[in-house]
Each structure stands twice: as structure tokens, then as C-alpha cells.
Amino acid sequence: MLQRLRKRERGFTLIELLIVVAIIGIIAAILIPNLIDALQKAKQKRTMADMRNTGTAWLSWVTDQVSAAAAGGAVSTWDGTAFTEVSNLADTLHPTQTFFYMSEIPSLDGWKHAFSYGYTGNPLGAQVIAIGSGGRDGDGSYNLGVSVTIGAFTPTDYDQDIIWADGFFVRWPGGQNPAGP
């Protein structure tokens, strides 16, 4: 009797261990791609939130300069050729230690690539300010000097450029403009 109890205490068999390892492998194969996608989506959302917050502060500055920002128009393309690159937006939005439109201006998007800030120099124009992110690949093919078609792109295409201009997103992931009216 005592000998039979000792025989059961030997541990797992090889087949039991292989089954457990196979189950863990299947679970990992399912979860890891979803985890990677969730991380990319979080970076995309952070980028869009930073663009929206910075743009809102910048529009406040434009409004203070000319009493009101110009209303946007309904067009199918966005003309990036009208914009000049702004190298240090912090000087505009954080002019002194006691007065500022935004306490910290983000310089990097969620993928750690530099934002592009553009200003036409005409606060009364139809197009005044723009913020761009090159997406996951950091390509930035919009370059603030190229016209792009306004619209959404596939939300899981993280290499697409995201552009915010004059109060709304010009290029954004998904079906509905997240900052539209």
C-alpha cells in the first residue's frame, strides 16, 4: 500500500507536460498579436490626443492675435503647400513662465517621431495652422508641402500619416472624424 502511494508522487508524465506546453503556446499565439495591435492603437490614440490638445492651444493663440480664427471650408483636398515649418512652437504657446497656452508642448508623437508644426503666417486665412505625425514608420510623406486628400484611412494601418489642421483632423484613422463638428 505504501509503495503504491510513492509511485503516484513521481510528478507529471511527459505527455502531460507536452499538452500543457502546447496549450500555453496556442494561448500565446492568440494573445501576442492582439497585444501588439493594442500597443500600436494606444500610440495612435496618444498621438491624436496630443495633436488635438496642442492644436486647441494654438487656435487659442490665433484667436488672441486676431480676435477670431477663420472658419474652415468644406473641401476634398488639403493644401499643405501653404504652410511653413515652425521649428519651436514652445516660444509661441509658452511665452512666459506666468502666461502660457499650454504648459508642455509635445515634440514627439506616440511612436517617438517628431511632430511637424506648420503655420501659414496669415491668421485670417482659410488655412492657418497644421500639425502632422508621420505614423509608426515616421515617414511623414505629407511634409506640410504636399496636398493630401481629406479623409479616413484603415485604423490598423499605423504607417499612415495623421494630420490635424485648423480645428479638425484632415487625415485620421477610422470612419468618422474624431474632431469634426
Give the HSE-up count for residue 111: Cα atoms under 13 Å, Cβ half-sphere: 20
Structural contact between residues 83 and 145, judged by C-beta atoms closer than 8 angstroms: yes
Tell me the per-residue pLDDT of 133-166, one tens digit each, with 9 for 90 and over: 999 998 876 666 677 888 899 999 999 999 999 8
Tell me the per-residue pLDDT of 59-80, one tens digit each, with 9 for 90 and over: 888 888 877 655 555 566 777 7
Provide the grid cell at 67.
Answer: 480676435
Mean residue pLDDT across the chain: 83
**Whole-structure pTM value:** 0.78
Query: CA-to-CA distance for 166 and 74, rounded, in angstroms?
Result: 12
- Residue 109: phi, psi to the nearest 5? -80, -175
DSSP code of 80?
Answer: G
